[in-house]
Amino acid sequence: MFNAPKTKGCRAWVALSDRAIAALQRQRRRQRRQRLAARDYDDLGPVFARPDEQSLLPQYVLDHRRRLTADAGLPAIGCTTCGASRPPS
């Protein structure tokens, strides 16, 4: 179940790069193909979900992001700072 944001600040728009938009569009096309191929496909709305269309657990997403970041040799940043981080000038 999805709930409304807890604070007004959480309702802010997020700017997406062309690359991110293209990735989301590819994901949407993948989900449409899965929906057509499945007999009992219950589209609950998450953009990224488990194969059974259930939402990913937040802790799994955070742990996976941390592993990918570490594997890529990138510095760890907190989730709340992801959108605010800027490359050094």
Q: Tell me the pLDDT of the chain averaged across its residues.
A: 75
Amino acid at 71: D
Cβ contact 53:41 at 8 Å: yes
Residue 89 pLDDT more than 60?
A: no
Rounded CA separation 85/29 (Å):
30
- Long-range contacts of residues 74-82, Cβ cutoff 8 Å, at least 24 apart: none
What residue spans of the chain are helical by DSSP H? Answer: 18-37, 58-71
Rounded CA separation 45/58 (Å):
16
Q: Write out pLDDT tens, residues 10-22.
A: 777 778 889 989 9
The model's pTM: 0.48
- Mean pLDDT (whole number) for 31-50: 72
Task: Lowest mean pLDDT of 39-43, 48-52, 56-60, name the range.
Answer: 39-43
Query: Which of the residue ranges 3-12, 29-38, 63-72 has the most confident prediction, judged by mean pLDDT?
Result: 63-72
Q: How confident is the model at residue 79 (pLDDT cuts 50, 70, 90)?
A: low
